[in-house]
Amino acid sequence: MPDPLPGSSLPWLVERARRDPDALALRDGEHELSYGQLAARVECLAGRLAALGLSRGDRIAVLMEASCRLVELAHAMQRCGATLVPINTRLSPAEIAPLVADAEPRLLLYDPGRAADLEETRTRVGSPRIVEAKDELDAVPPIGAPAPRPLDPAAILTILYTSGTTGRPRGVMLTNGNHRASAAASRANLGALPEDRWLVALPLYHVGGLSIVFRSALDGAAILLQPRFDPARAAASLRAEGVTLVSLVPTMLFRLLEHGGDRPFPPSLRCVLVGGGPVRPALLARALALGMPVAPTYGLTEAASQVATAAVGDAVDRPESVGKVLPGTRVRILEPDESGCGEILVQGPTVMAGYFRQPDATARALRGGWLHTGDVGRLDAAGFLYVLDRRTDLIVSGGENIYPAEVEAVLLAHPEVLEAAVYARPDPEWGQHVVAAVILRAENAVDDQDLRAWCKARLAGYKVPRVIEHVATLPRTASGKVRRHLLAAGAVLRPRGR
């Protein structure tokens, strides 16, 4: 599939607006903007950001739900030569502050109503200027917006934070070149049609949602943006607004089908990308039967979204596969066992520049010139990729990544908790939910409701254990590591009285 903006070195929105100024760019319920109108708004916004002191090479953090303003900000970063740092809006105030401290942004923009969530940031982090992203920002008189300059493919366009296996967040640095290569790979797989409309109900702090913003400007597609996923609203959009493409996580697909019953989807819907966790065969079969052209996909933030994606129709013959590796990307299996399974390594132009200010973690992840994903999988003789397990101990609930070490640290900080281990349990709606096995200093020293409240005050809600198991001991290896797979299998010893 040829590049729709061949040879373009200008910001993608600028070039698209010059070519298709009247084409629909964005609809978010409140606004409907053509590419020409969107580019004009971005130019004005870039002038306001410049008036606030943002300049080339700076970082701007945003605590914002998906909205027209956030799409504008994403494009304004290219116009200003700056870097966007989206913060997960589901994080607690105690989780937000260290991310801002790590990123050291010049500006932090937030949605109306979120000021209280930034009080801890204001106390602990003194450097960024904190500005409300709507009325307060719009009141700033813009100075002349920086003239569009040729893009540097190696310049960092986004820093997206993802949890590390130790629980310490890692800022994944993705360049202009990474995002463009990701768009080109997706285009080669899905094609790009003039009438394409992407329904975007994924959050824009995730690479899966944000990548569509850049991909659409490069391809000329329209974005139908929904700030939060609502199955009724999403289903209505799929059936009445000419949606051709949509990206979902398995939980969203489950809710869509539960809402719609047996009502089929229109033929205008030409691809439903489903990633962020495995798709259960029964769910896949149900979606296919209702006319949803599901294409399972595998990707990660460190590879700017997709690594492998099934073509429409592949899921029928190979329901357990995530398809073939996308053009331009290379995958190999490290030290495969007798069944061909091993760690998935990725190489290609979509692979990140590294982790922000974490050279040791970057060196480990990119050793030997390959991205070591930590995911286990295999390739069959026809080149189809099968992902057998997520990163070691990773819990994927509703498309959100949860690392047990982070939740365990919060539990162990409770004065009555002696030991804790966190693991996943299958969930028909969320894919997985969080379970904690704990040993208290004294039996009945604290009840489960209080432990969950303790966690909720310090963690995003989706990380709080749904179930707390009280155990007498934790199964461990000879070196002392907890054997979480045994806990998940039910190999726990309960103390008396429980």
Given 3-state DSSP classes, what are the helix, strand and coil percentages for the chain, each rounded to the nearest 5? 35, 25, 40
Average confidence (pLDDT) over 153-169 = 81
Provide the CA 303 distance to its chain's centre, in angstroms: 11
Cα–Cα dist 465/433, whole Å: 7
Does pTM top 0.75 for this prediction?
Answer: yes
Average confidence (pLDDT) over 312-328 = 91
Half-sphere exposure (CA, 13 Å, Cβ side) for 201?
A: 29
User: Which residue segments constitute the domains of the chain, with CATH numbers given?
Assistant: 12-389 (3.40.50.12780), 395-488 (3.30.300.30)
End-to-end CA separation in angstroms for the chain: 62
**Is pLDDT at 478 greater than 80 in this prediction?**
no
Cα–Cα dist 351/181, whole Å: 9
Provide the CA 428 distance to its chain's centre, in angstroms: 21
DSSP type of residue 482? B
**Is pLDDT at 262 greater than 80 in this prediction?**
yes
Tell me the per-residue pLDDT of 188-243, one tens digit each, with 9 for 90 and over: 999 999 999 999 999 999 999 999 999 999 999 999 999 999 999 999 999 999 99
Side chain identity at 442, as an amino acid letter?
A
- Residue 477's pLDDT is 57
Lowest mean pLDDT across 202-206, 300-304, 335-339? 335-339
Tell me the per-residue pLDDT of 371-385, one tens digit each, with 9 for 90 and over: 999 888 899 999 999
- Residue 494's pLDDT is 53
Cα–Cα dist 202/248, whole Å: 7
- Residue 492's pLDDT is 59
How does the average pLDDT of the chain come out, rounded?
Answer: 91
Residue 187: closest CA among 2, 435, 375 = 2
**Is pLDDT at 497 greater than 50 in this prediction?**
no
Lowest mean pLDDT across 72-76, 270-274, 311-315, 438-442? 311-315
